[in-house]
Amino acid sequence: MATSARIYRGTPRNLALLARHIRAGGLVAVPTETVYGLAADATSGAACRRIFSAKGRPSSDPLIVHIASLRDLGLVALPNPAALKLARRFWPGPLTMVLPKTRAVPDAATANLPSVAVRMPSHPLFRRLIRLAGVPLAAPSANPFGYVSPTTAGHVRADLGPRVRHILDGGPSRIGLESTIVDLRDPRRPALLRPGAITRGQVAAALGVAVAKPRYPAAGGRVAPGQMPRHYSPRTPVILHARLTRRMAARGSAADAWLFIARPPGAAPGRRANVFWLDARGDLRRAARRLFATLRRLDGAGFRRIHVERPAGAGLAEALSDRLVRASSR
């Protein structure tokens, strides 16, 4: 009989126990400010392969390596002046950089690439666990590969228990979207690989150069996670609209869910059982925080399809749009 996953509070005793489990090559689901991750010793090829097995993740999709201090960056990557500038500006926080890797990082963590994706998270429990484990931690999102990312410990247990037996509870994720990823292998030509809470404009301003927009790379050209055309997807088909109106929802099928960024004019909570919104006023930060949890809830509610409004504009709208485009891809 399979053992159920256990959720741990972030007490000193529990953190010490989980750190020992990681040092022994085990997996621990961890809270981050972005989404929950599935962590293992990033310097152990065997431990990294356990992540891929638990998630059903293809070995061609690289992992992100997490460090607790800027002093540790040189252990896993070869930083350049541009990377150090971004690290001092945005770390700890939701920014991942792709850099040439060191020999300490096994090929299993990087899809056999000579580069590594690395970041320093801001969630205090996760950083404490990294320090106690004494090694950098590889940690993709703690969900079955391609499914909606988890933003609570309960999401992880529903998705991966009992394949993952240890879950550290750090409360709901504060940001709710995965980290921004910037390719800095050539610091003269920085490129945004995945938009997130730290925007392309902020990165460009910090570096003083233009940052290329994200694109869908060929299967063999992915150097970081989150670049597949279909990703972050509920099982219920998602239909993406440039604009949704209350009239469209009223005339549409009652078997479908209609998800707005902001509360549509005249709509009231509970008025229609299939009309939803991410934030009453359309605040994009609150909308991002609630996106994945809302998609999960609608996915389990028996709707035939989920119609979603695509936010327009730059900044955080670019990150929300990216997740919704991939969630709706067929």
Q: What is the DSSP string of 209-271?
A: S--BPP----GGG--SSS-SSS-S--SS-EEEES---HHHHHHS-TTSEEEEEEPPTT--TTS
Taking residues 271-284, report their average pLDDT.
Answer: 90
DSSP tag of 102: -
Helix (H) or strand (E) holding 90: helix 81-90
How far apart are alpha carbons 210 and 163 in whole angstroms?
43
pLDDT of residue 270: 56
Question: Is the pLDDT assigned to residue 220 strictly greater than 90?
Answer: no
Pairwise pLDDT comparison (207 vs 4), residue with the higher score: 207
How far apart are alpha carbons 291 and 19 in whole angstroms?
31
Q: What are phi and psi of 212, to 5 degrees?
A: -65, 145
Taking residues 171-196, report their average pLDDT.
Answer: 96
pLDDT of residue 217: 65
Nearest CA among 150, 144, 179, 236 for reference residue 65: 179
DSSP tag of 274: T
How far apart are alpha carbons 188 and 91 in whole angstroms?
21
How far apart are alpha carbons 153 and 260 in whole angstroms?
26
What digits encode the pLDDT tens for the residues 145-175? 999 999 999 999 999 998 999 999 999 999 9
Question: Is the pLDDT assigned to residue 2 strictly greater than 60?
Answer: no
The pTM (predicted TM-score) of the whole model is 0.95
Contact 262, 281 (CB under 8 A): yes
How far apart are alpha carbons 292 and 323 in whole angstroms?
9
Beta carbons within 8 Å of 240's beta carbon, 6+ residues apart: 308, 310, 324, 325, 327, 328
Look up tokens 């394949």; give the residue: 163
How far apart are alpha carbons 163 and 143 in whole angstroms?
11
- What integer best gives the mean pLDDT of the chain? 94
What digits encode the pLDDT tens for the residues 222-267? 788 877 778 899 999 999 999 999 889 989 999 999 999 999 887 7
Beta strands in 36-75 (DSSP E): 37-41, 64-66
Question: Is the pLDDT assigned to residue 271 strictly greater than 70?
Answer: no
Pairwise pLDDT comparison (270 vs 181), residue with the higher score: 181
Taking residues 117-126, report their average pLDDT.
Answer: 98
Contact 326, 232 (CB under 8 A): yes
Contact 278, 286 (CB under 8 A): yes
Query: What would the two tokens of residue 180 be?
Result: 């921004």
pLDDT of residue 268: 66
Question: Is the pLDDT assigned to residue 190 strictly greater than 70?
Answer: yes
pLDDT of residue 118: 98
In order of their start, the domains of the chain are: 6-221 (3.90.870.10), 238-328 (no CATH)
Query: What would the two tokens of residue 315 be?
Result: 């900044």
